[in-house]
Structure 1
Amino acid sequence: MTPTNIKQRKKSHELLACEALFRRVLKEYRQKESIVSAYKREKAGYDGEKNVDYKLSTYPHKDLFVFQGIRLPNFPFYFQIDTLILTRRFIGILEVKNKKGTFNYDSKQQQLTQEVNGEVKSFKDPILQAKAQKTHLRGWLEKHGIFNVPIETLVVIAYPTTTIVNIREDPEVYNTIIHNESLHEHLNRLNRKYTKNILTNNSLKKLCRSLLDEDAPLRTDILTQLGINKQHLIAGIPCERCYAYPMNRLYKKWQCPSCLATDLKAHERIILDYFLLHQTSITNKECREVLQIDSPRTAHSILKSMHLQHDRENRARKYLAPSINDFPQRSTFPYINSSKQIEQFY
């Protein structure tokens, strides 16, 4: 038996927005360093977390309930946990680090440095980060009437090629900063340490529901963050085959003005990208501007066909974006053709 996955890992809003930006930004800006760096950073974090997700999924114990990425309120703040593990006996927090090279951790100075190809960078103390999450989670649990459940933290290095150097040879650090490959061993250690059930089946189920109900994924304004303006973005729908734009609306389909390729649902990705990059609602007028069409009736038909929720029945209706967790997860970069271009992103 394997752990029960209550909440599967989904791409963050920032990663989804980076992907949307590659689809919407004009070709001459697509290699802009700030855009590529933001994407690489988010994609590396996601890939590292997925590595840990896989290792955890092979742990041969069924009494673990796993939340892969969750952000909770502890007002006036929010706190995010990479992976949360619930058992009847203890709760585990996994803080995932995806950096490569050599990690030098100094427990006395509470400092982490990374060395890659002779270049040294400093980072926040990951143990203090995990402890801060523990403090926030403790406060959140107490507000939900849950006390005295042990909370353990592990900093998990996602890649086996990363070297971990415990400068002070601190025994506590050996049991706190670990490689992904040793995750099972450390979970076994915690299972041996805690043998008394504290949470009942009912309280555990109630806790799982509360966690799902209060999960609040972070939304970022990536256009402002990266200095991207309207003039940097494609107007209308670009053709996935030849990149010409805007595609023309014919009867219930779109046609490329250059290669004449057709697509029945080319509008769907563009509207979802609008939600990721601009705002969480769209009006009929905004839809017409995004798709470069003139007909309010056509815009109404398109928005209605996407089964989006809306806030009212009159002409000022706003169609609402799906939850971040409900956005398509498949990465598409339709205008990148050569392997060399793809390597620049991955």
Structure 2
Amino acid sequence: MKYRLKIYDLLIYEALFRRFHERYARNNSIISAYRKEKAGFDGERNVDYKLSTYPQKDFFIFQGIRLPNPPFYFQIDTLILTKKLIYILEVKNYKGNLKYDSKQNQMTQEVKGEVNAFKDPILQAEAQKTHLQQWLEKHGIYNVPIETLVVIAYPSTIIENIHQDPEVYHKIIHTESLHQHLNRLHETHAKDVLTTAAIRKLSKTLLQEDQPLRTNILDYYNIDDQQLIKGVPCEQCNYSPMTRLAGKWSCQKCNAISYNAHERVILDHFLLHGDTITNKQCRDLLRISSPRTAYLILNGMNLEHSGGNKGRKYISPVLGNFPQVSYLPKEIMSTLIFDKL
């Protein structure tokens, strides 16, 4: 019902790395935050693949959804609707050795001799269950069983249930055993509580109320425009700015030619600066002087717009229409190498 996309924050970090002047790009706190977001996304995709091979055909799967439960929002990594029950999968991309303490309600992780403590993932999943129950009741849906699983994304991760609590073995699992646990839970619920029509109606409501999180990363890290590149960088050598000549972009360094190199720059503007762009902002961003050229460029991207003449604002595409491919300059990629999991 909903395929997993990169969340806004992950796309925003990647836009920031593309637009940073090189001397600002090696910010350890920003790199660390990006790596955490990317590792989480990769772990979720690993679970998505395993779930895609599950033979059950009457599952309605939402790969990442964020819903309002005023005054809060709650986010579920993977939500599965079936006639008998609803599943919540809380995906964790932890590596190394995990120890779960059911008496202290704590998870600790040891990697290369370093120990870190985390919130209890079982309680996290149960909190999502409570939020979802409340959300369902507000939409007139009651008494639907909800089961939670904490799924460790990588089989190389060692999980120790230090008190050998039987319930924990059924709550914290590896991706490789996901099918068996889905079967186990499905078999414990004998009767149907939702019709296919009810599931489809509920699915429509879930998609309508899904509100992806979007953080103002520029404000969060106190980044100003002086730290960001203006102009269109060359897709071949990353030289900036390219020159606009006769409807195309020309690189003065390597002589590469592009007809649409501006598109990624404008999409990055939406990610970093907000939901709209004007003709004047476009000219400043791309370092061009002609309002007519900016008009043709913006209209050529088939963006929705509001207002007219000098007051016209072009509106950002929805999350699903942003490119998912992480094009990043080579000098930036060298700082973002992930440890092998």
Q: CA deviation at 1:243?
A: 2.2
The one-letter amino acid of 1:49's match is: E
Matches within 5 A, 1:100-139: 100-139=95-134
Query: Equivalents in 1 of 2:74, 2:3: separation in Å?
Result: 18
Aligned residue in 2 for 1:61? 56
The one-letter amino acid of 1:157's match is: I
Q: Encode CA deviations 1:255-304: one digit per residue, 9 max, x unaligned.
A: 11222221100110000001111111111111111101111111111100
Aligned residue in 2 for 1:208? 203
Q: CA deviation at 1:339?
A: 8.5
Query: Equivalents in 2 of 1:123, 1:236: separation in Å?
Result: 43
In structure 2, the residue corresponding to 1:85 is in which secondary structure? strand
Matches within 5 A, 1:1-346: 6-333=1-328, 335-336=329-330, 343=337
The alignment's C-alpha RMSD in Å is 1.6
Q: Aligned pair in 2 of structure 1 residues 342, 128: CA closer, same or farther (>3 Å)?
A: closer
Q: Aligned pair in 2 of structure 1 residues 339, 9: CA closer, same or farther (>3 Å)?
A: closer
Query: Equivalents in 2 of 1:76, 1:316: separation in Å?
Result: 35
Q: CA deviation at 1:29?
A: 2.2
Query: Equivalents in 2 of 1:219, 1:58: separation in Å?
Result: 31
Query: Equivalents in 2 of 1:256, 1:229: separation in Å?
Result: 27
Q: CA deviation at 1:331?
A: 1.3
8 Å contact 2:25–2:332 — kept in the other structure?
Answer: no
Larger deviation: 238-247 or 103-112? 238-247
Q: CA deviation at 1:30?
A: 2.2
Aligned residue in 2 for 1:3? none
Query: Equivalents in 2 of 1:236, 1:273: separation in Å?
Result: 12
- How many residue pairs get aligned? The number is 340
The one-letter amino acid of 2:275's match is: T
The one-letter amino acid of 1:70's match is: I
Query: Equivalents in 2 of 1:54, 1:298: separation in Å?
Result: 44
Q: Encode CA deviations 1:172-228: one digit per residue, 9 max, x unaligned.
A: 111001111110010010111012000012111100111111111111111222332
The one-letter amino acid of 2:262's match is: H
TM-score (norm 2): 0.96
TM-score (norm 1): 0.95
Larger deviation: 222-231 or 56-65? 222-231
Query: Equivalents in 2 of 1:338, 1:110: separation in Å?
Result: 39
Q: Aligned pair in 2 of structure 1 residues 12, 74: CA closer, same or farther (>3 Å)?
A: same
The one-letter amino acid of 1:21's match is: L
Q: CA deviation at 1:337?
A: 6.7
Q: Aligned pair in 2 of structure 1 residues 338, 37: CA closer, same or farther (>3 Å)?
A: closer
In structure 1, stretches of 5+ residues that fail to align are 1-5
The one-letter amino acid of 1:343's match is: I
Q: Aligned pair in 2 of structure 1 residues 200, 152: CA closer, same or farther (>3 Å)?
A: same
Q: Aligned pair in 2 of structure 1 residues 227, 186: CA closer, same or farther (>3 Å)?
A: same
Identity %: 60
